[in-house]
Amino acid sequence: MPSTTLRFKNLRRRFGRLSVLEGVSGSVAPWEALLVTGPNGSGKSTLLRCLAGLLSPDKGTIEYREGDEVLDTAGRRLRLGYVAPDLALYSELTVAENLLFFARLRRTGPERGFEVLDRLGLPTDRMAGALSSGMRQRLRWAWALLHRPRLLLLDEPFQNLDAAGEQGTRELLREHLEGGGLAVVANPSHLEIDHVAGHLDLGR
Amino acid sequence: MLRATSTSDARPLSPASAWAAEVAAVFVKDWRCEFRTRYALNTLALFAFTTLVVVSISLGPIGIDRARGSKVLPVLLWVILLFSVAAGLPRAFVQEEESQTATALRLSATPSALFCGKLLYCLTLVGALELLVTPVFVTLMSLKVESPGLLAVTLAAGGYGLAVGSTLVAAIIAQARTKGTLFSVLAFPILLPLLLLAVELTFSAVGGGGGSGGVALPQLLLYDASITVAGLMLFPVVWNP
């Protein structure tokens, strides 16, 4: 697998006068996860949104490389996998319809998404709007892994999951990293996960 | 069973075909969600029906004053269409922001394909609205159409411009807090030239301007082309941070 790296340097992001990120730097390489911790409001989600290309940092650089290709923000946005509490799929569609729709947008088949759903035990014929919060989190995982991304950005990835759901998603993360993928995992408290190569504490 | 539609065995699509498939996916998704909620359909139909009834009672055969009908009625037709569109079409993007599905779309869809898919959805809504409103309006107001061809072209070109302009404004306002006010403020300068031309052409079609429309028709078509190009160029900027 060609080398994939994510590097970010001196990121700064303010909302009005409120400084959320100030001089945050880090990097992550294949087979590695970067753990980002900090209390509520410390900027974990803002950092992940900047890395995903959903927010522009006021200052600093983000470089994402897949092999010889350095991807710009638009390219990075379409390649990565993202799990976050504020990410929703269509409540008017079934689980399967959601995956088929996003597979079409991702220009890929839906097989990987269905495989993840099978492993996490989520019925595909249920309306997404009728899912419990734990089931919705499983669907977010299936959506994030649909296009087999090399980079996973995970914001509170085990939130609302029961023991079986957490074990299933931890296995998916471990397989992703052992397959040469990379991940940035944000959580309010320390998480015991395999292959953590770096820890960024945003606590004030 | 939905899984049977897996595309893994299919040959890879060319970039143009893949883009077109994205457009179609957005269009189908929007209509599927619309048929299950009927939000935009109900809003458009209710608004159109209410204004049609009010206008027909005030000015139509069951009203009193039809002396200035041929001047006033084209204006009223486009006012009904404009306000019905303004009531329902902004939802195309506002809904994505409010239900937090915009993040998933931003991380999955090519902006131009998303814009065209949404535009196609808005176009079919506007087309359905015109098909519903125009015959009822013409009948209720006993409007004599001298040039049905010109009226059809005007409705098609005017409806297209309304759909593109509204889709673009909807995308701009989707992330704002005061969406309703902003839609009116932004839509006014964008849609005003379109409405003036559409009214002039409709006036010609009902026998007030000689039936040809003069230069207004090429101007309307030019407006449509310009707003389409502007939409395609501006959308990626307003959609992504």
For residue B97, the chain A residue with the least C-alpha distance is A88
From A78, A88, A104, residue closest to B21, measured CB to CB: A104
Q: Give the mean pLDDT of chain B.
A: 85
Min Cα–Cα distance to chain B from A49, Å: 10
b/e string for A36-68 if b means 16 or more Cβ within 10 A? Answer: bbbeeebbbbbbbbbbbbbbebeebebebebee
pLDDT tens-place string over residues B40-53: 888 888 888 888 88
Q: Is B237 an 8 Å CB contact of chain A? A: no
Half-sphere exposure of residue B69, counting CA atoms within 13 Å on the CB side?
21
Per-residue HEC secondary structure of A172-193 comes to HHHHHHHCCCEEEEEECCCCCC
Using pLDDT thresholds of 50, 70 and 90, give the confidence band for residue B66: low
Under 8 Å between Cβ of B104 and A86: no
Name the least confident of A193-202, B156-165, B219-228.
Answer: A193-202
Per-residue model confidence (pLDDT) at position B49: 87
From B6, B7, B25, residue closest to A105, measured CB to CB: B25
Using pLDDT thresholds of 50, 70 and 90, give the confidence band for residue B211: low
* The dihedral sign for the CA sequence A136, A140, A143, A148: negative
For residue B29, the chain A residue with the least C-alpha distance is A101
Share of chain A above pLDDT 90, in %: 87
Neighbouring-strand partners of residue A125: none
Read off φ and ψ for residue B239, nearest 5 degrees: -80, -40
How large is the average pLDDT for residues A130-153? 96
What are the DSSP calls for B18-39, one per residue? Answer: HHHHHHHHHHHHHHHHHHHH-H
Under 8 Å between Cβ of A80 and A153: yes
Q: Is the pLDDT of residue B5 over 80?
A: no
B103–A74 CB contact, under 8 Å? no
Location of structure tokens 């458009």:
B44
Give the residue with greater pLDDT, B239 vs A166: A166
Q: Is the pLDDT of residue B180 over 90?
A: no
Q: Is the pLDDT of residue A173 over 70?
A: yes
Using pLDDT thresholds of 50, 70 and 90, give the confidence band for residue B233: very high
pLDDT tens-place string over residues A113-137: 999 999 999 999 999 999 999 999 9
Residues of chain A contacting B99 with CB distance shorter than 8 Å: 88, 90-91
Using pLDDT thresholds of 50, 70 and 90, give the confidence band for residue B62: low
- The answer for B 72-101 residues in CB contact with A (under 8 A) is 99-101
Q: Is the pLDDT of residue B89 over 80?
A: no
CATH code linked to domain A1-80+149-162+172-204: 3.40.50.300
From A55, A87, A107, residue closest to B104, measured CB to CB: A87
From B6, B99, B104, residue closest to A109, measured CB to CB: B6
Q: Is B13 an 8 Å CB contact of chain A? A: yes
How large is the average pLDDT for residues A146-173? 95
pLDDT tens-place string over residues B131-140: 999 999 888 8
Distance (Å) of CA B51 to CA A155, A189, B88, B209: 48, 57, 15, 26
Q: Is the pLDDT of residue B95 over 60?
A: yes
Q: Is the pLDDT of residue B7 over 70?
A: no
Q: β-pairing, A182-187 with A33-37?
A: parallel
B8–A109 CB contact, under 8 Å? yes
Q: β-pairing, A151-155 with A182-187?
A: parallel
Helix (H, G, I), strand (E, B) or coil at A6: strand
Residues of chain A contacting B108 with CB distance shorter than 8 Å: 78, 102, 105-106
Per-residue model confidence (pLDDT) at position B15: 84
* Segments making up each domain of chain A, as ranges: 1-80+149-162+172-204, 88-148
Min Cα–Cα distance to chain B from A86, Å: 7
pLDDT tens-place string over residues A187-198: 998 888 888 888
Using pLDDT thresholds of 50, 70 and 90, give the confidence band for residue A142: very high
The DSSP 8-state label assigned to residue A127 in this structure reads: B
B104–A88 CB contact, under 8 Å? yes
From B3, B13, B101, residue closest to A88, measured CB to CB: B101
Give the residue with greater pLDDT, B209 vs B156: B156
